[in-house]
Structure 1
Amino acid sequence: MTANVLVAYGSTNGSTAEIAEAVAAVLRKQGCTAEALPASAVVRLTDYDAAVVGGGLYAGRWHKDARRFLRRHRAELDDRPLWLFSSGPLDPSASERDIPPVPGVRRAMTRLDARQHVTFGGCLREGAKGRVAKMILRSGKGGDFRDFDHIEEWAAGIAAELNHG
């Protein structure tokens, strides 16, 4: 039986959405059925066997759409394997070491018995929305710190667990 996986995400400027799309692509390549959707667009989880939920980090908090998704679908998530990811550090730290989840995500992991969490580097490009994003870019601290090899390796581990677990 092929696992049908939802990859839901909260993203303001598209970086986390691109990570979610990469995760879904690897899951499909590994034999799962998977789709990436904005967390705010998901109505119910009845068609999915598992979920991966990601959110961009903003001032130490997960994206509001990802937080709301976990609250809104808490009962349905209790019945499914769940993985979480964050994206955010605008430096190479996420590629150099394991960055623990922010407190709100750590609490959600415990409440929902999530199998794993990983923090990936973030990306902030010219034209990003938001006053803080514009300040960061003006200070020269933007850039793309996502490691797609790491992202794809992590997604392949999820597929292996779903296909053989």
Structure 2
Amino acid sequence: MNKLLVICQLIMLTGCMNVSIQSNVKPDDKPEFKRILVVSNLQHMVPTYLARFQTAFPSGYQVCTVSNSSIDFDNPEEAIDKKRQACQSEVSLSIDFNRNYTSGYGKYITSNNELLLVMTNLATNKPFWKAIVTTGGLNEVPPREIVQQLIKDGIIVGAVPLEKSYQSDY
């Protein structure tokens, strides 16, 4: 019985994710674009995480992804440039780990991760959108939440599509 209770509590805790996003836009540098390259510099992520970005953006946007892990043999800049050229991406959205911190005390202590998200115009190499995302201890921010913030900030237009499953061929 105790095992069942613990399992139910774990499911409830992992089912909800507390995410806070603070963002800033530089409207003068925002280009018109339809092709996005999502670059993850996160060291620990679920293999299907980046693939979820491909179904999170509104229709009309083409999304490619690339991961820069410390265990990859490719030079990170070369891998990004190769993917950018193959996809003809106009902007990039980079996801970087910023810091980890704890708050509270005793049994109320919580661990939080901060991620830095930056959207850059690849033609000028100037960033035009930045966000700090605070999560309840997880490295991965649901792509749909990032896309919702981009829509809210006027970076992209449209609506977040209904949840779709994605199966990667790689």
What TM-score results when the alignment is normalised by the length of structure 1?
0.42
Structure 1 or 2: larger strand share?
Answer: 2
What TM-score results when the alignment is normalised by the length of structure 2?
0.41
Higher relative CO (CA 8 A, sep ≥ 6), structure 1 or 2?
A: 2
Structure 1 or 2: larger helix share?
Answer: 1
